[in-house]
A and B are shown apart, each in its own frame.
Chain A
């Protein structure tokens, strides 16, 4: 310490009577040493004095610090601008005050409220810097905790709103993001969400701090956690701070928790429509931790929100699956009506192949074979065989239950394919088909098989509608056209039309004009068309008969 510098600093003060006696200065210095870390550096920034408090908190000895500059305790936490601001103030002879994060010898960090006072030398640069630092590490920790707590509170408050109206495809990501925020906010290590599928708990969502082994996929919960599963099945919540808290009858569970490295754990059942369908769990894996009542209440709230969202999603998926099955069975039923036609379609090429092959064999046996005739015969056999193959291929595509793929396709081609399929059927019913296909029709993105199904339905309906029409007048007009960015296809029959009062309900489930059949056909058609972003319509033609049409957005 240098008395003159203190005097210089205080010199010229208004109250000369406050000038301290040397004894009081010594007391003041001692009191300061008790309260704060004090250091003095020379003009080159080297430490020339430090007090015991500095050594105690920084964990360095006097010898290690003297002659060093302050970079020895630099944590690297602060920005360059922050440090530049500090030096600019000091160079200008101003006192600098601020909160600084430093690093102790063992690598741990401490926060200090710092005041640095420059004492001017002969030139512009300060001769000495006196720094007084107060340890505020605890206060900083509390502040941070409070900020996290507030952030968590805000997260929880907004959680419900976050999931309202969230598109189903974003739900999974939003749940895992929430899990991440909670694990961070509660200083945990892992959150997992399991849902029951085929009596197994399958991991569907999780987030964990890095460094932990991957969570196993589906686990036989009853095998690893028999006691806990039974509790969860009953809808009971469970938590423990230490595995040792588990009751003796949960021995198997305790073993599993130790095996998977979970020290403290919380498990909340997820309910949908009154039954447990899964479980949300949080785990601390580094150290054991207590679960406070307010934390438990918050996590239960999170579980409730997740359960609502997932329950809704599960219900939707279930409904979608039912719809797919219904569509499939309707396709099968439609095909049932088509079996005769399909048998015809297959038997034609088979008949051609057989007769051609047998004729060729006869020519060969007679020794009268004309090579040109033989070549033509084989060409015909190959063509007929390919035709039979195509029928089988279409049949398989229509019957398969696998999800349909969208592709760019031409409605004109689709019309031709369906007419090929129904050729024999329509012929058998004496139905004439007239097509007016637009030559420059834009293509559409569609699941070919589904649109085929719609057209097959339209055509079979048209055929059915003309059951009472004299043979000569049985006609279906198919038309495709381009309409300002859309593609329209219409199918008109020359039957009795649809009673005007029933036009509105044609696409409703179970509406049918047929004596037999489920009446699901047109309802499914509407769903298919709407799934394609299109519209399905029906009306009566002024000159008789009904028109069914679909409008689909063009891709080009």
Chain B
């Protein structure tokens, strides 16, 4: 018996990181899909079932921090975990306010990230989960 795999949506403008995260997802038996920007992600036709987003913050075009609101407006319920190379108190506070399912600064440990994804999908996650 095979449960449907968890989908991991990766939004990051950095190609090498998209590849690395995708690999990590596959190594954890998840199905990765990568996007270069918030805009591209929002335009894609996706099934949000058993899915979670890991999203960069600073990118060309829309900031990652705008994603939760865009999803909410589109009526989608997808947990968003931020992974940023630009960790500042302000970014952290905004991430918390927009209802992130997690917040990590790069580089992020695999186990911490995968745990966060599992938590987010088990419905137990809330925006209190913050890791550095």
Binding site for B on A (CB under 8 A): 340, 343-344, 347-356, 358-360, 362-363, 366, 373, 377, 380, 383-384, 424, 427-428
Contact of A348 among B19, B27, B85, B110 (CB under 8 A): B85
Q: Once bound together, how far apart are the Cα atoms of A377 and B16, in whole Å?
A: 10
- B86/A351 in contact, CB under 8 A: no
Contact of B27 among A347, A351, A363 (CB under 8 A): A363
Q: Once bound together, how far apart are the Cα atoms of A485 and B110, in whole Å?
A: 55
Q: Once bound together, how far apart are the Cα atoms of A373 and B23, in whole Å?
A: 9
- Contacts A340-B86, A380-B16, A427-B59 known; A348 to B106 CB distance under 8 Å? yes
**B108 within 8 Å of A by Cβ?**
yes
Measured between beta carbons, the chain B residues less than 8 angstroms from A348 are: 14, 16-17, 85, 106
Contact of B17 among A355, A359, A366 (CB under 8 A): A355
- B20/A380 in contact, CB under 8 A: yes
A sample of 23 inter-chain contacts (CB < 8 A) reads: A340-B86, A340-B88, A343-B85, A343-B86, A347-B85, A348-B85, A350-B107, A351-B85, A352-B19, A354-B109, A355-B21, A355-B110, A356-B19, A356-B23, A356-B24, A359-B24, A360-B27, A377-B23, A380-B16, A380-B19, A427-B59, A428-B58, A428-B86
Contact code string B79-93 (vs A, CB < 8 Å = 1, else 0)? 000010110100000
Contact of B107 among A354, A377, A383 (CB under 8 A): A354
Contact code string B58-70 (vs A, CB < 8 Å = 1, else 0)? 1110000000000
Q: How far is the CB of B34 from chain A (nearest CB, A)?
A: 13
- A359/B106 in contact, CB under 8 A: no
Question: How many residues in B have their beta carbons less than 8 Å from beta carbons of A?
Answer: 24
Measured between beta carbons, the chain A residues less than 8 angstroms from B107 are: 347, 350-355
Q: Once bound together, how far apart are the Cα atoms of A301 and B107, in whole Å?
A: 71
Q: Once bound together, how far apart are the Cα atoms of A347 and B17, in whole Å?
A: 11
- A427/B58 in contact, CB under 8 A: yes
Q: Once bound together, how far apart are the Cα atoms of A160 and B24, in whole Å?
A: 78
Contact of B110 among A344, A359, A428 (CB under 8 A): A359
**Chain B: which residue is nearest A383 at the CB level?**
B16
Q: How far is the CB of A353 from chain B (nearest CB, A)?
A: 7
Q: Once bound together, how far apart are the Cα atoms of A358 and B26, in whole Å?
A: 12
Contact code string B22-41 (vs A, CB < 8 Å = 1, else 0)? 01101110000000000000
The 4 closest A-B pairs by CB, nearest first: A362-B27, A351-B106, A347-B85, A358-B110
Measured between beta carbons, the chain B residues less than 8 angstroms from A384 are: 16
Q: Once bound together, how far apart are the Cα atoms of A511 and B86, in whole Å?
A: 31
**B105 within 8 Å of A by Cβ?**
yes
Further contacts, 17 of them, CB under 8 A, given A353-B107, A427-B58: A347-B105, A347-B107, A351-B107, A352-B16, A354-B108, A355-B20, A355-B108, A356-B24, A358-B27, A359-B26, A359-B27, A360-B27, A362-B24, A362-B27, A362-B110, A363-B27, A384-B16
- A352/B20 in contact, CB under 8 A: yes
- B106/A347 in contact, CB under 8 A: yes
Measured between beta carbons, the chain A residues less than 8 angstroms from B106 are: 347-348, 350-351
Q: How far is the CB of B35 from chain A (nearest CB, A)?
A: 17
Measured between beta carbons, the chain A residues less than 8 angstroms from B60 are: 427
- A344/B24 in contact, CB under 8 A: no
Q: Once bound together, how far apart are the Cα atoms of A368 and B109, in whole Å?
A: 21
- B58/A424 in contact, CB under 8 A: yes
Q: Once bound together, how far apart are the Cα atoms of A352 and B83, in whole Å?
A: 12
Measured between beta carbons, the chain A residues less than 8 angstroms from B24 are: 355-356, 358-359, 362
Measured between beta carbons, the chain B residues less than 8 angstroms from A358 are: 24, 27, 109-110
Q: Once bound together, how far apart are the Cα atoms of A490 and B60, in whole Å?
A: 24
Q: Once bound together, how far apart are the Cα atoms of A360 and B24, in whole Å?
A: 8
**Chain A: which residue is nearest B20 at the CB level?**
A355
Q: How far is the CB of A463 from chain B (nearest CB, A)?
A: 14
**Chain B: which residue is nearest A340 at the CB level?**
B86
Measured between beta carbons, the chain A residues less than 8 angstroms from B110 are: 354-355, 358-359, 362
Q: How far is the CB of B36 from chain A (nearest CB, A)?
A: 13
Q: Once bound together, how far apart are the Cα atoms of A150 and B21, in whole Å?
A: 89
Q: Which interface residue of A344, A355, A360, A424 has the most chain B CB atoms within 10 A?
A: A355
Q: How far is the CB of B31 from chain A (nearest CB, A)?
A: 14
Q: How far is the CB of A409 from chain B (nearest CB, A)?
A: 27
